[in-house]
Amino acid sequence: MKLENRAPAEGINASNENPLIELAWLLAGSLGVIVALVIVVSLAAQWIAPRIPYRYEAKLAATLPSFATAPDNEPGRRVQAELQALADRLAARLDMPDGMVVRIGYRDDRTVNAFATIGGQAVFFRGLLVKLDNENALAMVMAHELAHLKYRHASAALGRGVAVGVILSVVSAELGRNAAAGVLGQAGMATLLSFNRDQERAADEAALSALHAEYGHVGGAIDLFEVFARLPNEQRSPNVPAVEFLRTHPLTANRIAAIRHWAADNGAAIDGPRRPLPPGIAALRK
Amino acid sequence: MLDLIEFGLFVTLLIVGFFAGTIVEKRHYASIRKREREYADVLAFAVRFPPDRVTPQRAFLVHGTVVISSDYFKTFVAGLRNLFGGRLRTYETLMERARREALLRLKHDARRQGAKLVICVRFETTTISTGWAASIEVFAFGTALIPERDTGLAFGARSALPA
């Protein structure tokens, strides 16, 4: 036997391929899969959640603390009662789901926002109320939030959030504590946010028809978005959960154009007499 | 904002991992190839028995061990690869470097003790970290032989490597 050592083989056990090419393929593939999965699952959850009878949502909401609260003082309770009365009037025009009892909360906070959440609840912040000049503009916000409730957008958002959360937690468990999980999570969340705009348009349209039915014109909607157009940017994005009124909305200018368009299509007047704000809410401005 | 900082940190780590890892790997390969030529006269085989069973031999254990770490880039690419399956190319170079390095250290040990022949060479490997960056230990061991009446390579083993 003749024994000899030869130089180790090069390029057989380890490849010379540029690892950046592999990275590019893997990133594109995994992001594509995650985005597709998030889109499919969130669309499915968004489709299923509003079809689950409302009483299950009410049961779930009953296990959580109520959102429909107000500051424990006379002006606070008065504002809440006035908001509730307006909500009841508009809800009658919106054909709300069977069994849904709309309850409105009020927060003495400078945040310029309002949001709708599960269990037929909507919350208004003082910061928003003091910006409004008349009841018509307030009614536009109210009808918009009620439309979110009517279409069960809050439960759709919850269902979607839970479903996507499950996917992303499975993905991150697969990857361990790898940083890859973080990146994939970011991509998933970006997909999630971009969905809400269609819901906002649907809510705007339902709100406009309620406004038209209640006041005979949709001038309040234009007043409202003109107020928003004057807001400095930092006041437009408060950190409030659930379906927010401002954060995920189409651009204000687009919305004013959409209102005029809707009014033209539906033969609604875009101007008419405005009603004054209820006294308790009007008193907030002083 | 916090998300942006986190993302920036991640991209920075990835870039640093890639460039630092590439430089370290290139240098390591250059050093391995250079030393493989230097140690060409120390022969290592996987055979279980000495080729020359006539001449009495002195035999003793020699070993070489190396601990080598992945970098952020390699680990990230491997993490993505785990989703799809296939060759973990970024770890293949890591493992190859570790094995060749361990064998070189074994030869160093053998030469230090006056042996020019090591038989029954085996490799063991241990994962010593399962955190965000994988690290491995490769351990090479074998039986060094020195003929009692050392007349050089009495049994006809020779190196094909340039000395």
**ipTM attached to this prediction:** 0.72
| Dihedral over Cα of A197, A198, A204, A210: its sign | negative
Q: How far is A240 from chain B (nearest CA, A)?
A: 16
Q: What does the block give as tokens for A241?
A: 């959960």
Chain B residues 40-59 with CB within 8 Å of chain A: 40, 43-45, 47, 51
- pTM for the model: 0.59
Question: What is the pLDDT at residue A190?
Answer: 46
Q: Round the average pLDDT of chain A to a whole number and report it.
A: 81
Residues 6+ apart with CB under 8 A from A267: none
Contacts A12 to B, Cβ<8 Å? none
A79-112: pLDDT as tens digits = 999 999 999 999 999 989 888 999 999 999 888 8
Question: What is the pLDDT at residue A279?
Answer: 92
CB contact under 8 A, A5 and B161: yes
Inform me whether the C-beta atom of residue A32 falls under 8 Å from chain B C-beta atoms: no
**Residues A173-182, mean pLDDT to the nearest whole number:** 50
Residue A237 pLDDT greater than 70, yes or no: no
Contacts B45 to A, Cβ<8 Å? 3, 5
CB contact under 8 A, B77 and A177: no
Q: How far is B156 from chain A (nearest CA, A)?
A: 6
Q: How far is B90 from chain A (nearest CA, A)?
A: 7
Q: What does the block give as tokens for B9?
A: 């940190």
User: How do the residues of chain B divide into helix, strand and coil, expressed in percent and rounded to 5?
Assistant: 45, 25, 30
A121-125, A156-160, A259-263, B5-9: lowest mean pLDDT where? A156-160
Radius of gyration of chain B (CA): 20
B68-94: pLDDT as tens digits = 998 889 988 988 888 888 888 889 999
Q: Which of A1, A14, A30 sits opposite B80 (nearest CB)?
A: A30
Q: Which of A3, A19, A174 sits opposite B45 (nearest CB)?
A: A3
- Amino acid letter, residue B46: A
CB contact under 8 A, A178 and B79: yes
CB contact under 8 A, B160 and A183: no
- A240 pLDDT band (50/70/90 cuts)? very low
Inform me whether the C-beta atom of residue A6 falls under 8 Å from chain B C-beta atoms: yes
DSSP letters for A12-27: SSS--S-HHHHHHHHH
Distance CA A141, CA A126 (A): 13
Q: What does the block give as tokens for B82?
A: 């785990």
Question: What is the pLDDT at residue A218?
Answer: 92
Residue ranges of the domains in chain A?
Answer: 25-284
Question: What is the pLDDT at residue A193?
Answer: 44
By percentage, how much of chain A surpasses pLDDT 70? 84
A34-83: pLDDT as tens digits = 889 888 887 888 788 888 898 988 888 888 888 888 898 999 999 999 99
Determine which of B33, B77, B80, B127 to mutate to test the interface with A (most A C-beta atoms within 10 Å). Answer: B80
DSSP letters for A84-134: HHHHHHHHHHHTPPTTPPPEEEEE------EEEETTTEEEEEHHHHTT--S
Question: What is the pLDDT at residue B131?
Answer: 65
Of the two residues A226 and B20, the one the predictor is more confident about is: B20
Question: What is the pLDDT at residue B43?
Answer: 93
Inform me whether the C-beta atom of residue B133 falls under 8 Å from chain A C-beta atoms: no
Q: What is the pLDDT along chain B (163 residues), one digit of tens a residue?
A: 666 787 788 889 999 999 999 999 999 999 999 999 999 999 999 999 988 878 888 999 999 999 999 888 998 898 888 888 888 888 999 999 999 999 999 999 999 999 999 999 999 999 887 666 788 999 999 999 998 865 555 454 555 555 4
**Residues A210-219, mean pLDDT to the nearest whole number:** 92
Q: What does the block give as tokens for A183?
A: 């990146």
Q: How far is A172 from chain B (nearest CA, A)?
A: 10
Inform me whether the C-beta atom of residue A19 falls under 8 Å from chain B C-beta atoms: yes
DSSP letter for B62, please. Answer: E
Domains of chain B: 2-147 (3.30.110.70)
**Residues A137-160, mean pLDDT to the nearest whole number:** 87
A117-130: pLDDT as tens digits = 888 899 999 999 99
**Nearest-CA residue of chain A relative to B9?**
A179
A178-198: pLDDT as tens digits = 545 555 555 555 444 434 677
Q: How far is A116 from chain B (nearest CA, A)?
A: 26
